[in-house]
Chain A
Amino acid sequence: MIAVIDYGAGNIHSVARALTKVGATFEITERPEKIADAEAIILPGVGAAADTMRGLRDSRVDDPVVTAIARGTPYLGICMGLQILFEKSEEDGGTPCLGVLPGTVTRFPNDLDVPHMGWNQVHQQTPSPLLHGVTQDANFYFVHSYFASPAIETQIITTTDYGLPFTSAVERDNLFATQFHPEKSGDIGLRIYANFVRIAGQQALPNFS
């Protein structure tokens, strides 16, 4: 069972619809023990870093998530679910985050239109099982004002250009996260979910193989 973490924010329902479409077995939950037992974890997210961290702490799922990742449980973070993996975000006057990956999260410079919203190209720097079958420079849907800068270059799997190149997906062992929203990115986005479902040890529907 894949645990989709519901901490009172985020775009849980659109993620759930995408998982249903690719044939995943999953449960939306905010219970720490479910997260500890899950085959895999998905942390969706929209909104602000401080709200997200508060939501995770108030639901007492922050530690179980970090523990599960450390144990090697497959993890997929979406948007804010990518940003909160890093040490801190400058959003909301500076927000300490989970610190699973070294690096920080900063705001796009003021001369750019923020949020960065719409379809943009995702350039693959390195092969990843998450991107299996995804064409080079395929377009994905983004909505965000902040972006992560991983300290470890090899954890960056894709970059995207919005006035400056920024990290649009990361990977470390069984941990994956995208700044874009695969659940809003059409068929190519569903393929990302199907790939993660397979990484989690489940079968995805044959349409998505």
Chain B
Amino acid sequence: MLTRRVIPCLDVKNGRNVRGVKFSADIDAGDPVELAARYDREGADELVFYDITASAEDRNIMVDLVEKVASQVFIPLTVGGGIRTTEDMHRMLRSGAEKISINSAAHQNPDVIREGADRFGAQCIVLSIDALRDPESLTPRWTVYLNGGRVATSLDAVEVAQQGEELGAGELVLNSIDADGTRDGYDTDLLRTVSDTVSIPVIASGGAGSLEHLRDAITVGHAHAVLAASIFHFEVFSIRQAKEFMASAGLPMRLDPYRPDAP
């Protein structure tokens, strides 16, 4: 049986790992290569690297970083941040990424999703959506934001998710801007609304603060996988603990023997 996934996320700026609250960085949270190795030892199912500055200059740093991690850590790596073209995608895939996460570029030019899926396969293309709950709306509605939550659009997150699936995205990451960095829990309304609308896997992002939150993203929000940053960076609990808790709640988890001294 396919297991549920726990995915630590590393926000990277200038080659360092940083942590943000409600999309505003930065606290230095260490060396991404070391962290990636630790997460792998603890049983992370995948790793996500977001380049949160993503200027052209930083892109080279990111390529080096992905290469370094990929030569040490042998689980799927997803890279996002500033990816605009299939050439950008190709470069990251060659450096060792397994999947590419696209965000702002895909909302401004949805064809890049189709181009990426045609060239590399749908399984390589992860559409990332930053969504903020619309407080004015009488029925639940979430608005898509661009550029790391800085620029509002008029796009509806659920419609964007559906369109992304039609264009060939293989997975969706749903980041709740409201919940991001708060540790108050994922936005399970948003997760459930999107998960029940699309048939591709939805990855919950933004707001994890407790083991129960991780479980609820799946049992209440119907997500396929959970992504979290700060709770793992600062060792609030380990990935192993998270997975054991989720398994005890009846979810199928990958819990192969923990080998702290593994090569």
Q: Which residues of B contact A121 (CB under 8 A)?
A: 1
C-alpha spacing A199/B123, complex, angstroms: 32
Interface SS majority for chain A: mixed
Nearest B residue to A118, CB-CB: B2
Q: Which residue of A has the minimal Cβ distance to B43?
A: A186
Question: Could you tell me the distance between the alpha carbons of A185 and B256 in the complex, rounded to whole angstroms?
Answer: 11
Q: A138-B256, A208-B263 given as contacts; is B122 within 8 A of A185 (CB)?
A: no
Query: Is A1 among interface residues, defined by CB-CB distance under 8 A?
Result: no
Q: Does A17 contact B (CB under 8 A)?
A: yes
Contact B263 A187 (CB under 8 A): yes
**Which parts of B119-137 form the interface with A (CB within 8 Å)?**
121-123
> Interface size bucket, A side?
20 to 34
- B151-210 residues with Cβ-Cβ distance < 8 A to A are 170, 199-201
Q: Contact between A190 and B263 (Cβ–Cβ < 8 Å)?
A: yes
A residues 193-209 near B (Cβ < 8 Å) are: 205, 207-208
- Number of residues from B at the complex interface, CB < 8 A: 28
Closest chain-A Cβ to B145's Cβ sits at a distance in Å of 27
Q: 1/0 per position for B242-262, CB-CB distance to A under 8 A?
A: 000000000000101101001
Q: Does A13 contact B (CB under 8 A)?
A: yes
Flag the segment in A65-73, A84-92, A109-117 that touches B: A109-117
B5 touches A119 (CB 8 A): yes
Interface residue SS majority, chain B: loop
Closest-by-CB residue of B relative to A47 is: B121
CB distance from A162 to the nearest CB of B (A): 7
Would A113 and B199 count as touching, CB distance under 8 A?
yes
Interface assignment of A141: CB less than 8 Å from any CB of chain B = yes
Q: Point out the residues of chain A lying under 8 angstroms from B121, CB to CB.
A: 46-47
In the complex, are the beta carbons of B94 and A186 less than 8 A apart? no
Is A130 at the interface (CB under 8 A from chain B)?
Answer: no
Is the Cβ of A118 less than 8 Å from the Cβ of B74?
no
Q: Is the CB of B76 within 8 A of A184?
A: yes
Q: How far apart are the CA atoms of A77 and B170 in the complex, in Å?
A: 25
Contact of A139 with B by CB under 8 A: yes
Known contacts A187-B259, A187-B262: A116-B98 contact under CB 8 Å: no
**A143 within 8 Å of B by Cβ?**
yes
Does B96 make an interface contact (CB < 8 A)?
yes
Chain A, range 112-133, C-beta contacts under 8 Å to B:
113, 115-121
Q: Does A154 contact B (CB under 8 A)?
A: no
Q: Are A119 and B263 in contact (CB under 8 A)?
A: no
Please measure, in the bound complex, the distance between the C-alpha atom of A115 and the C-alpha atom of B200, giving whole angstroms: 9
Knowing A115-B122, A118-B3, A119-B254 touch, does A186 contact B40 (C-beta < 8 A)?
Answer: yes
**Which of chain A's residues have a CB closer than 8 A to the CB of B254?**
119, 139
B262: nearest chain-A partner, CB-CB = A187
A135 CA to B258 CA in the complex, in Å? 13
Q: Which residue of B lies closest to A141 (CB)?
A: B76
Q: Which of B76, B96, B259, B262 has the most CB of A within 10 A?
A: B76
Cβ-closest chain A residue relative to B263: A207
Residues of B within 8 A of A (CB): 1-3, 5, 40, 45, 70-72, 74-76, 94, 96, 98, 121-123, 170, 199-201, 254, 256-257, 259, 262-263
Can you pick out 10 interface pairs between chain A and chain B where the beta carbons lie within 8 Å of each other?
A14-B98, A21-B263, A116-B2, A119-B45, A141-B75, A141-B76, A143-B123, A186-B75, A188-B256, A190-B74
With A13-B96, A185-B75 given, can you name 12 additional A-B contacts, CB distance below 8 Å?
A17-B71, A113-B200, A116-B2, A117-B123, A118-B45, A119-B2, A119-B45, A120-B1, A121-B1, A139-B254, A143-B123, A186-B256
- Residues of chain A at the chain B interface (Cβ within 8 Å): 13-14, 17-18, 20-21, 46-47, 113, 115-121, 135, 138-139, 141, 143, 161-162, 183-190, 205, 207-208
